[in-house]
Chain A
Amino acid sequence: MTSEWEVGRVEDLKPGTRRIINVKGRQVGVFNVAGRFYALRNICPHQGAPLCEGEIGSTLLPSRPGEYVVGREGEVLRCPWHQWEFDITSGRCLVDSRVRVKTFEVVVRDGHLFLIA
């Protein structure tokens, strides 16, 4: 059965930041990516690291040899253990979309954030 879990006030989760909350005994990271909200389970599908504690930032987009193109600023979460990169907006690993971390829906109501889990 799904229910709503209060995350906190919208104004307390600024763009580019995250908050890790407990939901039914499980840790979930809630992220503000440029004003949109996403939530990911705090377990890396690779070896079980606390994925949501990783660095939030950009990536180097696939490019021609010798070319470096920075992109997806703020949308990429880098696992603190083995540096695998995940798309915060989809939970999918950038290099292998079959590898994904569980995502949750986040809704905004009356200035507060709620996680659907």
Chain B
Amino acid sequence: MSHAILIGESSQLNISNMVNADAATALASAYNDWLVTTWLSFDSRLLGSAFAATQDPIAAAREIDRIGSHPQIIQIALGSGARMPYGQRFFYPIFEAAERNNLAIAIHPFTEGSLIANPPTAAGYPSHYIEYHTCITGSIQAHLASLVFEGVFERFPRLRVVIVEAGVAWIAPFVWRMDREWKSLRIEVPWVKRRPSEYVNEHVRFTTQPLDEPDNPDHLVQIIGMLSSPELLMFSSDYPHWDFDNPERVLERFPDDVQDQIFFENAQRFYQL
């Protein structure tokens, strides 16, 4: 293994949902320092995801400039629990700073409905974890559509986004849907000059966990084959969470060259490793 990318945990993903922006900014900073001293200095193969408190995007950008020069910090992590979709201009200082420091933006499900974040589903608060956990792609899809249709990738042409641990089977049909909507409704968002799928192909990557488990395992191979390219996918384990994917088993149905891409080459290219 040449590199492992650390994502952080639920308590860090919740920093941006704290009521007190100053406390959140300080906590993000403290976490980032801890990440560097505890993990990144422990082994040069470890790469880190820094946090920035979105309540105060100007302060967040300062934090990104401060921590972003560390060679092992490769991305800024955001939870999908948010007060508004991430494509909105409120967040632009964060994207500007990420682009300036050549860092990706990683959006991870979780923290929806927590503290000041919006409810976990558009239908409201589910009673059970199993409902919430089934529906986590919902907020991720809303953020992705927002990033594309608000023109974030036109404003920040070098911005790279990775959707982390939101599953994969939904991606192809969702991108088809964005393309279809765009053909009819693009006049509402004229700055979206190209098909949404082109922005996704150029700027967005998705990590694999949790890989869906259809009764016929070949169906997973087929649905991933419906993506424009397997280049869109990067392996993620979600270790040590209860629903993690075992790298020795989950991609065994895929051809060797696709496995090489998903396990290694795509991340190497995306993160310029």
Contact = CB atoms under 8 A, between A and B. Distances in A.
A48 B248 contact: yes
A48 B249 contact: yes
A20 to B, nearest CB: 20
Nearest to A98: B215
Interface stretch (B25-33, B145-153, B197-205, B239-247): B239-247
Contacts of B243: 82
B249 A81 contact: no
A47 B242 contact: no
A22 interface: no
Interface in A28-66: 47-49
Contacts of A17: none
Contacts of A83: 242
B250 interface: yes
A1 B212 CA distance: 39
Interface in B208-257: 242-246, 248-250
A28 B250 CA distance: 24
A81 B244 contact: yes
Interface residues of A, number: 6
Interface string A59-102: 00000000000000000000001110000000000000000000
Determine chain B's interface SS by DSSP, over half rule.
loop
A81 B240 CA distance: 9
Residue of A48, A49, A81 with most partner-chain B CB within 10 A: A81
A48 B242 contact: no
B222 to A, nearest CB: 21
Interface in B179-196: none
A47 B250 CA distance: 7
Nearest to A96: B215
A5 B121 CA distance: 54
Contacts of B250: 47
B242 A82 contact: yes
Contacts of B248: 48
B241 to A, nearest CB: 10
A100 to B, nearest CB: 15
Contacts of A49: 246
A80 to B, nearest CB: 9
A83 B243 CA distance: 9
A83 B245 CA distance: 13
Contacts of A48: 246, 248-249
A113 B193 CA distance: 73
A82 B243 CA distance: 6
Residue of B243, B245, B246, B250 with most partner-chain A CB within 10 A: B246
Nearest to A83: B242
Contacts of A82: 242-243
A109 B243 CA distance: 42
Contacts of B246: 47-49, 81
A47 B245 CA distance: 8
Given A47-B245, A48-B246, 12 more contacts: A47-B246, A47-B249, A47-B250, A48-B248, A48-B249, A49-B246, A81-B242, A81-B244, A81-B246, A82-B242, A82-B243, A83-B242
Sort A-B residue pairs by CB-CB distance and give the 5 closest, nearest first.
A47-B246, A47-B249, A48-B249, A48-B246, A83-B242
Interface of B: 242-246, 248-250
